[in-house]
Amino acid sequence: MIDLHLHSHHSHDGEGEIADFCQRALELGLVEIGFLEHLDLYPLDPHFGLHNYERYLEEIERARRDFPELKIRMGVEVTYLPGIRKEIQETICLRSYLLRQLEIFLSLIHI
């Protein structure tokens, strides 16, 4: 069994360390988990600019070392709004450092 939509303390609506999720996943018998931390790109969003990609990556890499028996995927969840299309493209498509590490990308459309 897998769970590919988890939010840790790296998202405004999540809490808990990534390692805690990994430990619980193993207790539940999961073989794979994926984190989709919010990447808020709309300047008027109260959570705009809070995502710290480097700290998120460091915690994922540490969890992968500490839990080798668990497949841990790294991703982001971005809300798509027509007014921020350029920001989404620049952040996701043009910053290759981000794409090299991401395994899951979820984009949501809010109407």
Has this prediction a pTM greater than 0.75? yes
The per-residue DSSP string of the chain comes to -EEEEE--TTSTT--S-HHHHHHHHHHTT-SEEEEEEE----TTSTTTT---HHHHHHHHHHHHHH-TTSEEEEEEEEEE-GGGHHHHIIIIIS-HHHHHH-SEEEEEE--
78-103 mean pLDDT: 73
Judge whether residue 80 has pLDDT over 90: no
Q: In angstroms, how far is CA 77 from the centroid of its own chain?
A: 6
5-31 mean pLDDT: 96
Judge whether residue 42 has pLDDT over 90: no
